């Protein structure tokens, strides 16, 4: 079996995997990072979204071997201990989750949205950008609010840091 090495949430990891092992399997089964979920088999739901080299990707449709040497961030890598990432905090404050199953993917997709489009996101933009993430519980209303607030908070943090 080929060996794959990558950095996951700042930690160097490697494992022998079958060629067909998906990144989501590598994360969930080899690394026991079960915050990344699998909600479908057609790359539609977004429950599996993680960041690879700073970009959101669907870990259910990515081979682990293709991430050789990559820098992977999962939902477990966002908070600093109990100090939440502003997007995580916004999901809680705005009740952007119910069962929580879609939530890791939503949060990872939302941060990527901010990285690409900035801190001032309109409702329309957010709804359009969530094309690849399905939530069955919330009706999206509070997810949209959470992302808008989370984006603004990320902007505020950036300003504060400068």
Partner 1 sequence: MAGTGIGARVERKEDFRFITGKGNYTDDINRPGQAHAYFLRSPHAHAKIRKIDTAKAAAMPGVVGIFTGADIEADKVGGLICGWMIHSKDGTPMKAGAHPALAVGKVRYVGDHVAVVIAETLAEARDAAEAIIVDYEPLKPVVDLASATKKGSPAIHDAAPDNQVYDWHLGDEAAVKAAFRKAKHVTKIDLVNNRLIPNAMEPRAAIGDYNPGEEAFTLYTTSQNPHVARLVLSAFIGIAPEHKLRVIAPDVGGGFGSKIFIYAEETICVWAAKKVGRPVKWVADRTEEFLAIAHGRDHLTHAEMAIDENGKILGLHVKTRANLGAYLSTFASSVPTYLYVPLLSGQYNIPAIYGEVEAVYTNTAPVDAYRGAGRPEATFVIERLMEVAARELGMDPAAFRKKNFIKSFPHQTPVIMCYDTGDYNASLAKAMEIHDVKGFARRKRESAKAGKLRGLGYSAYIEACGIAPSAAVGSLGAGVGLWESAEVRVNPVGTVEVLTGSHSHGQGHETTFAQLVAGRLGIPIENVAIVHGDTDKVQMGMGTYGSRSGAVGMSAIVKALDKIEAKAKKVASFVLEASEADIDFKDGQFSVKGTDKSIDFASVALQAYIAHKFTGEQLEPGLKEGAFYDPTNFTFPSGVHIAEVEIDPDTGVTTIAKWTAVDDFGVIINPMIVEGQVHGGIAQGIGQALLEGAVYDSNGQLLTASYMDYAMPRADDLPSFRVDHTTTPCPSNPLGIKGCGEAGAIAAPAAVMNAITDALGHENIAMPATPQAVWQAAQAGLARAAE
- The one-character DSSP state at 87 is H
Q: Kindly state whether residue 154 participates in binding partner 1, applying the rule CB under 8 A.
A: no
Exactly one of 4, 8, 23, 45 binds ligand FES (CB under 6 A); that residue is 45
Q: Kindly state whether residue 3 participates in binding partner 1, applying the rule CB under 8 A.
A: no
Q: Alpha-carbon torsion 84, 109, 138, 76, what sign? A: negative
Exactly one of 13, 15, 30, 38 binds partner 1 (CB under 8 A); that residue is 38
* Residues whose CB is less than 8 angstroms from the CB of residue 6 and which lie 6 or more positions away in sequence, other chains included: 12, 13, 14, 67, 68, 69, 70, 71, 72
Q: Kindly state whether residue 98 participates in binding ligand FES, applying the rule CB under 6 A.
A: yes
Q: Kindly state whether residue 135 participates in binding ligand FES, applying the rule CB under 6 A.
A: yes
Q: Kindly state whether residue 29 participates in binding ligand FES, applying the rule CB under 6 A.
A: no
Helix 103-117 to helix 86-93 angle (10° resolution) is 120
Per DSSP, the residues of 16-72 read E--TT-BHHHIIIIIS--TTS----SSS-S-TTEEEETTEEEEGGGSBGGGGTT-EE
6 binds, among partner 1, ligand FES, none (CB under 5 to 8 A by kind): none
Q: Kindly state whether residue 26 participates in binding partner 1, applying the rule CB under 8 A.
A: no
- The one-character DSSP state at 145 is H
Q: Kindly state whether residue 98 participates in binding partner 1, applying the rule CB under 8 A.
A: yes
Pick the closer one to partner 1 by CB: 57 or 162.
Answer: 57
Q: How many residues bind ligand FES, per CB under 6 A?
A: 22
The site for ligand FES (CB under 6 A) is made up of 38-40, 43-48, 58, 60, 97-103, 135-138
């Amino acid at each position: 079996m080929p060996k794959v090495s990558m950095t996951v949430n700042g930690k160097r990891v490697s494992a022998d995997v079958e060629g067909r092992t998906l990144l989501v399997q590598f994360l969930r089964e080899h690394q026991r990072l079960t915050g990344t979920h699998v909600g479908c088999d057609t790359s539609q739901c977004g429950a599996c979204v993680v960041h690879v080299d700073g970009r959101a990707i669907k870990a259910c449709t990515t081979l682990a071997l293709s991430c050789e040497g990559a820098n992977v961030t999962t939902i477990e890598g966002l908070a600093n201990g109990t100090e939440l990432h502003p997007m995580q905090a916004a999901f809680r404050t705005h009740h952007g989750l119910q069962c929580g199953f879609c939530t890791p993917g939503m949060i990872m997709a939302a941060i990527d949205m901010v990285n690409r489009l900035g801190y001032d996101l309109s409702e329309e933009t957010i709804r359009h950008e969530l094309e690849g993430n399905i939530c069955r519980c919330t009706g999206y209303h509070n997810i949209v609010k959470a992302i808008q607030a989370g984006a603004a908070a990320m902007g505020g943090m950036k300003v504060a840091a400068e």
